[in-house]
A = this chain, B = another copy of it.
Amino acid sequence: MKLRSSSFLMLGMLRLGVRSGYAIKRATDLSTRFFWPTSLAAVYPELARLEHAGLVSRSEDPHGARARAAYEISEQGEAALQAWLRSPRHAPLQFRDEGVLRLFFADTLSDEDQLALVRRLRERALTAVSQMQEEIRPTAAALEQDGTRFPAIVAALGTDTYRYVAQWLEDLEARLESEASGDTAATGR
């Protein structure tokens, strides 16, 4: 069976003690959402695949009359997770983002529209920063109490990076603004 990144997301979450499919989805919304989101429609079939391959085991864990499955990572699953973490093969870095694509083509916009676009991108970066601070960092901080510290490291990396991008865009904004108001000669168009 071929394992993909999403498979390891499941295995890793189970390894952290998350038990049900629903809880995995909830946990990713509070942790990996910004760099590896998922959906319930992806979680359930993936867990079934992993069970079929013997990487996780499933047991029924009803809550009153409500059916619920409890998954646990198997020894093979642990081994697969460790192998993936240690594997030197990494997909090349890329940052697929529609906002940056717009910026790339922004030359045909008027000065005001260029400025408006940069502002929107900056606001979006700041929104991401505050969401990470308010939603994701607290969860990571809780895990850190138990000695699991990399979620907090990742949250800090994300927050700092987006903050850096927001600052960069603010500087760009200032550059564009000074051109538009002050010297009209600088543009070269």
**Alpha-carbon separation in the docked complex, A156 to B152 (Å):** 29
Point out the residues of chain B lying under 8 angstroms from A107, CB to CB: 147-150
**Inter-chain contact B93/A124, CB cutoff 8 Å:** yes
A108 on interface, CB distance cutoff 8 Å: yes
A84 on interface, CB distance cutoff 8 Å: yes
Given contacts A101-B8, A161-B168, A95 and B35 within 8 Å (CB-CB): yes
Point out the residues of chain B lying under 8 angstroms from A81, CB to CB: 105, 108
Given contacts A148-B107, A150-B107, A165-B161, A91 and B98 within 8 Å (CB-CB): yes
Across the A-B interface, the 3 shortest Cβ-Cβ residue pairs: A12-B105, A35-B100, A106-B150
Question: Measuring CB to CB, which residues of chain A are less than 8 angstroms from any residue of chain B?
Answer: 5, 8-9, 12, 15-16, 31-37, 81-82, 84-86, 88, 90-109, 113, 116-117, 120-121, 124-125, 127-128, 147-151, 153-154, 157-158, 160-162, 164-165, 168-169, 172, 188-189
